[in-house]
Amino acid sequence: MSDDKKLIIVLGSNYHPMQHIRHAEIMLKEHFPDIIFSTHLRTKPIGIASPHFVNTLAVCSAKGGLEDTLRDIKRIEHSCGDTMQQRKNGVIVIDIDLLRFGDKKLHKDDWERPYIRQLLEEMNLI
């Protein structure tokens, strides 16, 4: 895995969460063959009224640039059934966020969330 294009990705779902997390993991594995996933954590929702979430963290490397990687992740979300209308109604079929691309940290507030810190520690990333 090349350090300059190392990715840290977080996945979450509150709607049939294990089914959708596993589906997203399969699709991510097809796109990022070296991907490694953490355990799955059941977490309380943050900022929305909804059922509990299942979250997992992933580490892999990317061949393309940041914009291509973000576009690929959004395509995977969409193909897993995620829509803006569902999100407006508090239904998160799948949410896939890129936390790190090489040396660039994204979603900086998410890094302090307890479940993300727990998963980062589990994977020896902090």
Predicted local confidence at residue 105, as pLDDT: 97
CB neighbours of residue 114 within 10 Å:
11
Q: What is the pLDDT of residues 52-108, one digit of tens each?
A: 999 999 999 998 899 999 999 999 999 999 999 999 999 999 999 999 999 999 999
Give the list of residues 6+ apart from residue 112 with CB closer than 8 angstroms, or none: none
Q: What is the pLDDT of residues 15-59, one digit of tens each?
A: 999 999 999 999 999 999 999 999 999 999 988 889 999 999 999
User: Which amino acid type is present at position 109?
Assistant: D
Predicted local confidence at residue 2, as pLDDT: 43
**β-sheet bridge partners, residue 59:** 8, 36
Average pLDDT, the chain: 94
CB neighbours of residue 100 within 10 Å:
17
CA pair distance 21, 17, nearest whole angstrom: 6
Structure tokens at 80: 């897993």
Whole-Å CA distances, 97 to 58, 72, 103: 10, 11, 16
Q: Is the confidence at residue 3, as pLDDT, over 60?
A: no
Q: Are 94 and 50 in contact (CB under 8 A)?
A: no
Give the list of residues 6+ apart from residue 10 with CB closer than 8 angstroms, or none: 55, 56, 57, 58, 96, 97, 99, 107, 110, 116, 119
Predicted local confidence at residue 4, as pLDDT: 56
